[in-house]
Amino acid sequence: MPDKLTVVPLGGLGEIGKNMMALETPEDLILVDAGLMFPEEEMLGVDLVIPDVTYVEERLHKLRGILITHGHEDHTGALPYVLPKLALPNGRLPVVYCTRLTRGLIDVKLREHNLASQASVRVVQPGERVKLGRMTAEFVHITHSIPDSAALAIQTPVGLVFHTGDFKFDHTPIMGGPPDLSRIAELGRQGVVLLFSDSTYADTPGYTPSEQTISPALDQIMADAPGRVIVATFASLIARVQQVIDAAVKNNRRLFVTGRSMMDNVEMAIQQGYLNAPDNILASLDKMRKLPPERIAIVTTGAQGEPTSALVRMANRDHRHIEIQAGDTVVFSSSAIPGNEVLINRTIDNLYRLGANVLFSRIANVHVRGHAAQEELKLMIGLVKPKYFVPVHGEYRHLWMHSQLAQAMQIPREDVFILEDGDVLEIDKRGARVTGHTPADFVYVDGLAVGVDRIVLRDRKHLAGDGVIVAIVTMDKHTGKPIGRPDVVSRGFVEAEMSDGLMERARDVITQALSGAEHVADRSDFNTRVHDALARFLYDETRRRPMVLPVSVEV
Amino acid sequence: MPDKLTVVPLGGLGEIGKNMMALETPEDLILVDAGLMFPEEEMLGVDLVIPDVTYVEERLHKLRGILITHGHEDHTGALPYVLPKLALPNGRLPVVYCTRLTRGLIDVKLREHNLASQASVRVVQPGERVKLGRMTAEFVHITHSIPDSAALAIQTPVGLVFHTGDFKFDHTPIMGGPPDLSRIAELGRQGVVLLFSDSTYADTPGYTPSEQTISPALDQIMADAPGRVIVATFASLIARVQQVIDAAVKNNRRLFVTGRSMMDNVEMAIQQGYLNAPDNILASLDKMRKLPPERIAIVTTGAQGEPTSALVRMANRDHRHIEIQAGDTVVFSSSAIPGNEVLINRTIDNLYRLGANVLFSRIANVHVRGHAAQEELKLMIGLVKPKYFVPVHGEYRHLWMHSQLAQAMQIPREDVFILEDGDVLEIDKRGARVTGHTPADFVYVDGLAVGVDRIVLRDRKHLAGDGVIVAIVTMDKHTGKPIGRPDVVSRGFVEAEMSDGLMERARDVITQALSGAEHVADRSDFNTRVHDALARFLYDETRRRPMVLPVSVEV
């Protein structure tokens, strides 16, 4: 068999989150990351979106493992959903390889889904190599907004592939060492055939500042605030929690943790030695009453305005233990994920209404980005010096801008590939080319099950827009003629006051629609007549298009 | 009667858009602005939101007129909806007072709603005073992102009230003169009892740059672009259109206009002499084919990613005349209105996919804000020197920050009022105080009519989340017992594949729920039994909560 590498992004291109990449040779297949994505506005009622692993399911005999670059949900969160689908021919689940903190975070998720005993998650040290059939993968230490992040150097039959994972070059991180620049440079000198690089902030000029730069701001806020300081951030931003702990210690405040995922992650991170908290700094919420406000700091979830999060409950006066009061200072140590702006702004407004002072990254230096900006992206390309370049992680404009950076660094235009999810890129000794496209659609998780498709979402959108009207007609099964007056029930259509007269006339419209036919035995004829007449009538009257559901009852 | 002024904001506080303010004395009532707001995400199916004018309807006998500060939709757009509700006791509609361009824009709207002949819109010159019962209003020239913007100096029985309207201090505007600082200062010297001031950008430090600053960028883009230059902006941003015309002229490009509202406004602005376009610069779209791309500039709607706008049609390859091609440069000369980020980003991505280069304010100097930043807000307070201060136009956090600026300028805390819509502020010689709250809720416009209330929206949200299931039971009207097997119809709930088995079992659940009762004559008992049993069953099976609609047919 000729040496060949097939690359299939199953997520993470053209949209944010839901990262997954398949690397396939004639003998072996490995996956990089298994992320989930939170639904976009029009995915009504959907809880989560996960990658479509059909392509992998068709090749389970050669699946050698899943490599996870770091512990964020957009890289790990789909594991509980896809692992059961990816059982190997021997019945076992594929092995998940990752660094230690990442394993801790994955274990929390697997336990929630009762999968911890079946799954096999192996810790890999930075610098360590994992054999995956004829491929090997080395985890290379890199910096991001979560400790223990890794880039991957994957030896394949066509040469070395380097995948940055999510990264920024933070030379003074809060936790763990600086990125392993010398190893990356060494790999570059040895020759890298293909670079996948993080494009999330490819539209941002310059450098991303170090995480260190916000410590003085947090410190100052804790020193100056007249009352409690409540810091909201991502539950996975372990390093930020450390900064909050440090600022609290320095300013003689005790730290309280609230929000389920924040509590779980902090507990795990302390147990595993990632968080360094002096004795007696962390306290349980019931101890808060005994302390004066200026001795209290709180770290919480809810920085994205998530409706059920601890901070949003506080802002809505709905938190069981914490009531916002005048003198409180709330810090959003985060940036808005696009689409969440409205929820975040509403939360800020409500906190102000309750008398809190609110600080966020637009008006205070309380957050830095977690991803590389343009100069770092160029530095990565300069170190790795790949033959082929594929920008990953980001929406299309980010991939496009990242591809412009690569071309500015003398990678020929024909060696830069802007892929979209499902595109199949093949590399062999003759070169690299896109050879096709495989389904890599959104898979929607709603409630217990994966069981929402485009038709369900289309119907939800229709229902959301103008509501529903059900037309119930009783028919004589012998004559096929309506008996009595049709009934109608509507919801989400017009307000009660307007409804009565309209519904009476709608009943007449149905009667009339059926009066022409001698025998409406055919159900589809019945449906069409009632649907069309009613839809037309309601549109003429209201310029709205509710979903019309004709129901016939034969007696 | 003692001299008293009652201030009731009916819109424009605590949320963006939908501006309206009532100023009332014992004898007279005037309204300032009548804006609409575009619906927020959770206002499913709603087309527009307008102010609740119940308060004014109860006082029509003393309504003396509606003053409009400038021509933007969030200050004028509700006129076609509220004017008919505000007919005076003599049968006439209240007079609308505004500057000349504002009148032109209002007339376009009134004609659309066939109200042009009934309505009376009077042009007021800057400096001119209008008598409104015992009150008088002077229009004071100010700068904003639309020409002919006015602030209002309203003489009331308790003293002079100054309302800034939307403003920034642009000393070198593209059109019209600079703001009338000397008149504002003179009013301040005479003594202003109450200042209403624009808070939209109260969170932004420094000064807002002049509109002039973007001309060089537009000029450079037109000079450098290898092909067509397509500039998307707000249809009401007349001055920006002038800048695009000027840049096109300078670079020997002809200008094409697309998008219904852009075409209407450009035509009106040329007729009224606001836009200055050399002969032969504007061309109709059918002439475009005859010109080489580098001779073409296009100005279009769609800068907010509005789904049916011209630019979004281009991005979706759905525009009748303009097909995006490699070499095109698309400029978003705009900023994102919060909540529109996702739509805008999707449009940008699609334009990149089609091969266009895309420029927007984050990466090029192609837009400036239309509202005053903190230093200008302080300047306004410094000129007007009011006794009482009420921040207007903005969400709660903006009002809060603006109130902090006022306090920093030595207005005592007790003389600064952060109001919310419906709050009633009374001023008399004893002082100023909030005395109550009147309903000033959202009024939803959907389709032809105002006829959507909170219940309808709540139902739409429920339907949107998990769909609907209709349970149809035929009952014997004599025995009150079900006849045959119940039927179920669902939409937007689960995908067809999963649905069949589930629906069969749901039918059994309904039968069982009704089997206990001997005679289910009571409709509410029937509804409760079917609803609760089905809702519980479906939640247990799917963890979803579709809307359950029980329907009984008695035969």
Minimal Cα–Cα distance from B150 to chain A, Å?
A: 29
Is residue B447 pLDDT above 90, yes or no?
no
Minimal Cα–Cα distance from A141 to chain B, Å?
A: 32
Under DSSP, is residue B249 helix (H, G, I), strand (E, B) or coil?
A: helix
Q: Burial level of A404, CB count in 10 A (0-12/13-18/19+)? A: middle
CB A303 within 8 A of CB A233: yes
Is A371 considered catalytic here? yes
Give Cα B301 distance to the centre of its chain: 16
Confidence of residue B405 (pLDDT cuts 50, 70, 90): very high
- List the one residue out of B137, B134, B135 whose CA is nearest residue B122: B137
Is residue B260 pLDDT above 80, yes or no?
yes
Is residue A33 pLDDT above 60, yes or no?
yes
CB A399 within 8 A of CB A418: yes
Minimal Cα–Cα distance from B349 to chain A, Å?
A: 5
Confidence of residue A398 (pLDDT cuts 50, 70, 90): very high
SS (H, E, C) B409-464: CCCCHHHECCCCCCEEEEEECCEEEEEEECCCCEEEEECCEEEECHHHHHHHHHHH
pLDDT in tens, A208-262: 999 999 999 999 999 999 999 999 999 888 999 999 999 999 999 999 999 999 9
Among A38, A441, A446, most B C-beta atoms within 10 A, so best to mutate, is: A446
Q: How far apart are CA A415 and CA A193, in angstroms?
A: 10
Per-residue exposure over A516-544, b if at least 16 CB sit within 10 Å of its own CB, e if not: eeeebeeeeebbebbbebbeebbeebbeb
Is residue A191 pLDDT above 80, yes or no?
yes
- Tell me the CB-side half-sphere exposure of residue A155, using CA atoms within 13 A: 13
pLDDT in tens, B11-21: 888 776 789 99
Under DSSP, is residue A106 helix (H, G, I), strand (E, B) or coil?
A: helix
Is residue A450 pLDDT above 70, yes or no?
no
Confidence of residue B299 (pLDDT cuts 50, 70, 90): very high
Q: How far apart are CA B314 and CA A464, in angstroms?
A: 27
Interchain contact A177–B (C-beta under 8 A): no
Using the beta-carbon criterion (under 8 Å), do A41 and B41 form an inter-chain contact?
yes
Using the beta-carbon criterion (under 8 Å), do B449 and A492 form an inter-chain contact?
no
CB A166 within 8 A of CB A201: no
- List the one residue out of A120, A126, A78 whose CA is nearest residue A100: A126
Which of A166, A198, A328, A421 is an active site residue? A198
Minimal Cα–Cα distance from A392 to chain B, Å?
A: 15
Q: Which among B339, B467, B549 is the nearest to A342, CB-wise?
A: B339
Using the beta-carbon criterion (under 8 Å), do A491 and B363 form an inter-chain contact?
no
- In A, minimum Cα distance to B465 occurs at A45
- CB proximity under 8 Å: A 6-25 to B: 14
Interchain contact A3–B (C-beta under 8 A): no
Sign of CA dihedral B297, B301, B306, B309: negative
pLDDT in tens, A283-298: 888 889 999 999 999 9
Under DSSP, is residue A84 helix (H, G, I), strand (E, B) or coil?
A: helix
Q: Which among B456, B543, B549 is the nearest to A494, CB-wise?
A: B456
- In B, minimum Cα distance to A419 occurs at B353
Average pLDDT over residues A144-160: 96
Using the beta-carbon criterion (under 8 Å), do A451 and B541 form an inter-chain contact?
no
- Residues of chain A with pLDDT > 70, as a percent, come to 98
Q: Give the number of other CB atoms < 10 A from CB of residue A430.
A: 9
Does the complex come out with an ipTM higher than 0.90?
Answer: no
pLDDT of residue A453: 83
Confidence of residue A125 (pLDDT cuts 50, 70, 90): very high
pLDDT in tens, A157-188: 999 999 999 999 999 999 889 999 999 999 99
Is residue B520 pLDDT above 60, yes or no?
no
Helices and strands (H and E) in chain B: how many: 15, 26
pLDDT of residue A105: 92
Q: How far apart are CA A440 and CA B105, in angstroms?
A: 48
Is A219 considered catalytic here? no
Interchain contact B385–A (C-beta under 8 A): no
Which of A141, A367, A371, A398 is an active site residue? A371
Confidence of residue A1 (pLDDT cuts 50, 70, 90): low
Average pLDDT over residues B38-65: 91
- In B, minimum Cα distance to A493 occurs at B456
- List the one residue out of B289, B291, B217, B304 whose CA is nearest residue B259: B304
SS (H, E, C) B71-91: CCHHHHCCHHHHHHHHCCCCC
SS (H, E, C) A440-469: CCEEEEECCEEEECHHHHHHHHHHHHHCEE
pLDDT in tens, B328-342: 999 999 988 878 888
pLDDT of residue B500: 80
Residue written as token pair 């570059």: A188
Interchain contact A107–B (C-beta under 8 A): no
Q: Which among A397, A497, A547 is the nearest to B348, CB-wise?
A: A397
Q: How far apart are CA A298 and CA A244, in angstroms?
A: 9
Minimal Cα–Cα distance from A488 to chain B, Å?
A: 9
Q: Which residues pair with A416 in a beta bridge?
A: A389
Which of B72, B141, B163, B371 is an active site residue? B371
For the ranges A476-485, B27-36, B46-55, B313-322, the lowest mean pLDDT is seen at A476-485
- Note the maximum CA span of chain B: 87
pLDDT of residue B514: 87
Is residue B344 pLDDT above 70, yes or no?
yes
pLDDT of residue B519: 58
Contact list in B for residue A44 (CB cut-off 8 A) is 464-465, 492
Q: Burial level of A75, CB count in 10 A (0-12/13-18/19+)? A: buried
Q: Which residues pair with B359 in a beta bridge?
A: B331
Among A441, A468, A538, most B C-beta atoms within 10 A, so best to mutate, is: A468
E strand segments, A288-337: 296-300, 329-332
Q: Give the number of other CB atoms < 10 A from CB of residue A103.
A: 22
Using the beta-carbon criterion (under 8 Å), do A493 and B456 form an inter-chain contact?
yes
Q: How far apart are CA B191 and CA B160, in angstroms?
A: 7
DSSP assigned state of B17: S
pLDDT of residue A517: 63
Contact list in B for residue A541 (CB cut-off 8 A) is 448
Is residue B406 pLDDT above 80, yes or no?
yes
Q: Which among A474, A494, A542 is the nearest to B553, CB-wise?
A: A474
Interchain contact A240–B (C-beta under 8 A): no
Minimal Cα–Cα distance from A140 to chain B, Å?
A: 32
- Rounded to two decimals, the pTM is 0.87
Query: Among A382-391, A490-499, B336-345, B486-495, which range has the highest average pLDDT?
Result: A382-391
Interchain contact A45–B (C-beta under 8 A): yes
Q: How far apart are CA B429 and CA B2, in angstroms?
A: 9
- Residues of chain B with pLDDT > 70, as a percent, come to 98
A468-475 vs A547-554, strand pairing mode: parallel
Interchain contact A452–B (C-beta under 8 A): yes
Q: How far apart are CA B529 and CA B552, in angstroms?
A: 12
Under DSSP, is residue B388 helix (H, G, I), strand (E, B) or coil?
A: strand
Q: Which among A446, A487, A498 is the nearest to B451, CB-wise?
A: A498
Interchain contact A344–B (C-beta under 8 A): no
Q: Which among B353, B468, B543 is the nearest to A468, CB-wise?
A: B468
Interchain contact A542–B (C-beta under 8 A): yes
Using the beta-carbon criterion (under 8 Å), do B451 and A494 form an inter-chain contact?
yes
- List the one residue out of B485, B460, B456 whose CA is nearest residue B472: B485
Looking at residue B458, its amino acid is R
- In A, minimum Cα distance to B351 occurs at A397
What φ, ψ does residue B422 adopt, rounded to 5°? Answer: 95, -15
Minimal Cα–Cα distance from B486 to chain A, Å?
A: 10
B121-123 vs B229-232, strand pairing mode: unpaired
pLDDT of residue A230: 98
Q: What is the dihedral angle through the alpha carbons of B39, B43, B49, B52, rounded to the nearest 10 degrees?
A: -150
A275-to-A147, A243, A244, A300, B37 alpha-carbon distances in Å: 10, 10, 11, 16, 47
Using the beta-carbon criterion (under 8 Å), do A483 and B14 form an inter-chain contact?
no
Using the beta-carbon criterion (under 8 Å), do B45 and A460 form an inter-chain contact?
no
pLDDT of residue A442: 86
- Domains in chain B and their CATH numbers? 5-207+369-450 (3.60.15.10), 211-359 (3.40.50.10710), 467-554 (3.10.20.580)
Is residue A520 pLDDT above 60, yes or no?
no
Interchain contact A487–B (C-beta under 8 A): yes
Q: Which among B463, B466, B544 is the nearest to A492, CB-wise?
A: B463
